[in-house]
Each structure stands twice: as C-alpha cells, then as structure tokens.
Amino acid sequence: MSRRGTVQAVHAVLPCASLADVEELHAAISRGEVVRHDDLYGFVVADGRELWHLTVVDDHDPAANAAALYVHVPDPDAVHERLSAAGHEPGPVRDEPWGMREFAVVDAAGNRIRVSRNA
C-alpha cells in the first residue's frame, strides 16, 4: 500500500485581533512559545514541535468567534494550576462522562480551548 498522500500533520489556525492579546495564554497552555512569522501570524511551538497557529483577522469579533481547539496533555490539572497562577480564568477540571478529564478556557479572541486527557 502506498503512503503517498498520507497526512503528516494538521494544525488548527485560530483567529485573533492581535497576537499580543493571546500569545501569553497559548504559550502557557503549550508550555512553549509563540514564534511570530510577522505581526499578523504566529506558530505555537513546544519542544521543537509546531502545535497550532494564530492569525490576525481584520475586524475580529471575539463574541462571534466559534473557533475551538482540543488539546490533549498528560496532566490537565497541572495546566489548570499554571493558568490560574498566571491570572487566567479556566473553568473547573472535571471527569466527563465521555471518559476525559478536562477543562476549558477562552482566550481574549474568543477561542475556546479545551485541555484534556483520558480519565
């Protein structure tokens, strides 16, 4: 069976009004950094891996933003504590009936980020 055309990676691209508004939260979630291509586009990178992207969108309205990201981590409780200590307001960590331990946090651009692991 040929592997030609096999997907190598998929990266979400989340909208924002400004990279400065969201980069600290995304760096904290990933335990990495936002590497800027320019003032309008950035890559969330951790441990040498590109995880997801951020892009500035003209007239971005956080209240109308339906973008979301589901991030799997080894320890969502530790990420929750790190975000809370940095002044962010994540929702409570819960064991969900679908078998995940998770919480959600919304960035300044209105992107909903769910952080989870198998319960």
- pTM score of the predicted model: 0.89
- Please compute the mean of the pLDDT values over residues 98-118 and round it to a whole number: 96
User: Is 106 within the bounds of a domain?
Assistant: yes
Residue 8 confidence (pLDDT): 82
User: Is 2 within the bounds of a domain?
Assistant: no
The percentage of residues in the chain with a pLDDT greater than 70, rounded to a whole number, is: 97
DSSP 27: H
- Residue 37's domain comprises 13-118
What's the mean per-residue pLDDT of the chain?
94
User: Is 6 within the bounds of a domain?
Assistant: no
User: Is 7 within the bounds of a domain?
Assistant: no
Report the CATH number at residue 49. Answer: 3.10.180.10
Number of domains within the chain? 1
The dihedral of CA 113, 81, 47, 119: what is its sign? negative
User: Is 45 within the bounds of a domain?
Assistant: yes
Q: Which tokens sit at 115?
A: 């952080």
User: Is 33 within the bounds of a domain?
Assistant: yes
Buried b / exposed e over 74-83, threshold 16 CB at 10 Å, is: eebeebbeeb
The percentage of residues in the chain with a pLDDT greater than 90, rounded to a whole number, is: 90
Task: Using pLDDT thresholds of 50, 70 and 90, give the confidence band for residue 88.
Answer: very high
